Amino acid sequence: MKKRTDNISEVHRDVLVKTRERFKSELDARLEAGLELINRPISNPTELGQSNSDFAAWDDYNVELLKQSFDRPNNDYHKDYAYTGIHFGVIGGSRPTFQESLNDHKYDIQRQFDRLRLIRDKVDLIDTVVIEPEPTVKKKDEFHIAMEKLDNLFRRFHRIAQTLRNRYKGRPTLLIADEYDVQDLMLSLLKEHFDDIRDEEYVPSYAGANSRIDFLLKNEKIVVETKMTNEKLRDKEVGDQLLIDIGRYKNHPDCNVLILFIYDKGDFITNKGGLIRDLNHMSTDKIRIFTFINPE
């Protein structure tokens, strides 16, 4: 009888770079947040749109958590969880009813919740190592602080823009009419939180042409790209433009994170959650993408 031999050395076992207890605690918190999404009552399209946005943010955070928790970002647990999203807009046929959209939305949440729960159930079987690279931990903390500042800024952008319409003693109003106005206000707000902002820096040649990026946060290695929707710039058009931008920024040496901020003042984007999810899933090991749409 021929003896079977297995080359074990060629099989990579994904290893946690944190303690099992910490990973369990993080997953439990994510599952608790997911349960709130599952049980959230939704009775109209506005509530559905908000839930879609919250689900996209919850799902994207889970993907990043699974990437950063193991010795390699593209690990098997990340692959098992990774969401296979939807495409832009509605392709052919009639637009789905509110109930159909709601059912699809709840199904998506439940599927991702169940995938995350399966990973939680296996934590005790996962190998772990103790690593303490202080520079990496410090850099990670700085990144989270920067992202918290940006998240707060993006969520308040429309509210801030509205306050500019009413000025003391009838002074001329400052209205956000186009993308250049968005960039002007964005630069003023960014300067309140970040020291080194490079606006309209050249990006390396892509598809035979040079172009400029909106804002580079030099110290944080974060690029912020802004868009403002209008009658001719809706879901598909914005998505197409930003896909080109994503390809361009992958060649920039100071772009570890690309933030796409879409100011949807006129509510021209009908599927905000789907657009956010599709763009964010263009992330790679070289560049992470986070998309914000305001008003939500």
pLDDT at residue 88 above 50? no
Integer Cα distance of 28 and 6 in angstroms = 37
Lowest mean pLDDT across 15-19, 81-85, 179-183:
81-85
Q: What is the mean pLDDT of residues 196-208?
A: 63
pLDDT at residue 41 above 60? yes
pLDDT at residue 282, as a whole number: 87
Provide the β-strand partners of residue 228: 263
pLDDT at residue 202, as a whole number: 61
pLDDT at residue 27 above 90? yes
Query: Please, which pLDDT band fits residue 2 given cuts at 50, 70 and 90?
Result: very low
Helices (H), 7-44: 20-39
Distance from the Cα of residue 19 to its chain's centroid:
26
pLDDT at residue 84 above 90? no
pTM, full prediction: 0.51
Integer Cα distance of 276 and 289 in angstroms = 10
pLDDT at residue 210 above 90? no
Convert the pLDDT of each residue in 51-62 to its tens digit.
999 999 999 999
pLDDT at residue 126 above 80? yes
Integer Cα distance of 198 and 115 in angstroms = 41
pLDDT at residue 50, as a whole number: 93
pLDDT at residue 9, as a whole number: 44
pLDDT at residue 296 above 60? yes
Q: What is the mean pLDDT of residues 59-76?
A: 90
Convert the pLDDT of each residue in 218-271 to its tens digit.
888 899 999 999 888 888 888 888 888 788 887 788 888 999 999 998 889 888
Convert the pLDDT of each residue in 130-186 to its tens digit.
544 444 544 557 888 899 999 999 999 998 888 877 666 666 667 888 888 899 899
Whether omega for the bond prior to residue 135 falls within 30 degrees of 0, making it cis, is no
pLDDT at residue 213, as a whole number: 77
pLDDT at residue 5, as a whole number: 46
Q: 127-128 and 197-199: which strand pairing?
A: unpaired
pLDDT at residue 10, as a whole number: 52
